Amino acid sequence: MKQTIFITGVGKRIGYALAKDFLAKGMHVIGTFRTHYPAIDELAELGADLYQCDLCIPAEIDDMLVRINATHDELHSIIHNASDWHNDKTKPGMSAADIMNRMMNIHVSAPYQINLALADKLIASANEQIGAVNIIHITDYVAEKGSKKHIAYAASKAAMHNLTLSFASKLAPMVKVNSIAPAMILFNEGDDEAYKVKALAKAILPKEAGNPEIIELVDYLTSSQYVTGRSFAVDGGRHLA
């Protein structure tokens, strides 16, 4: 069956890789982006339905949701991938409260708003089949561990996983809701060798995991019929290092 998948933050990295993978499998992909990267044009050419939306602005989210509801009759999965990453050092024009609000808006308020608005469409698309449709929150391994330098970020990702618990209970049995908590999946362009060595040393599997690790886990979660309300760590065993 050709499914419809909604992914937030498809402009780069994991979101882009997931969108391309689902499109290659013949799925309908709905994607959001804040910044227009070249990848957005590529995904559009492949058939993705794309919406530029600032997830810190509820009115923009509402407008997007109205258009999605009007355009798509079915929805089989929501993947909350959109993310921002701030340390706790204030910047010009940005207070500590601003940093916390931004982290909570992107990682908690926006997924909460989207899940509530699209829940009925997910349930209807399940066609009374238990566990047929999905919500997946991409959190972070620091949601459980905490962070000395990224306290607001870590707290917001922990709250995001708490959404998983609440929505798993609320939307059962038709909708499964799970979290994926990655650590270092891909290095960024410009990361120097010293940083890479330090980052890899934090795990007992010292390697760059790559997008396939997340894609394969998403495939498992969307095809499973009996897993909900769980968090899946993809962190190279950092808790044992």
Indicate the average pLDDT of the chain.
95
Query: Cβ atoms within 10 A of the Cβ of 116, count?
Result: 12
102 is in which domain, residue-wise?
A: 4-240
Which pLDDT value is given to residue 170? 98
Angle at the Cα of 188 from the Cα atoms of 50 and 96, rounded to 5 degrees: 80
φ, ψ at 55 (rounded to 5°): -75, 0
Collect all residues with Cβ–Cβ distance below 8 Å to 232 and sequence separation of at least 6: 178, 179, 180, 181, 217, 221
Number of domains within the chain: 1
CATH number at residue 35: 3.40.50.720
Which pLDDT value is given to residue 144? 93
Q: Is the pLDDT of residue 29 over 80?
A: yes
Which pLDDT value is given to residue 90? 78
CB 194 within 8 A of CB 209: no
Measure the CA–CA gap between 9 and 227, rounded to whole angstroms: 25
Q: Looking at residues 17-42, what average pLDDT do you find?
A: 97
φ, ψ at 224 (rounded to 5°): -65, 150
What tens digit of pLDDT does each residue of 176-225 get? 999 999 998 988 888 888 989 998 999 999 999 999 999 999 999 999 99
What tens digit of pLDDT does each residue of 87-123 get? 888 778 889 999 999 999 999 999 999 999 999 999 9
What tens digit of pLDDT does each residue of 138-161 get? 999 999 999 999 999 999 999 999
- Residue 1's identity, in one-letter code, is M
Residues that are catalytic: 153
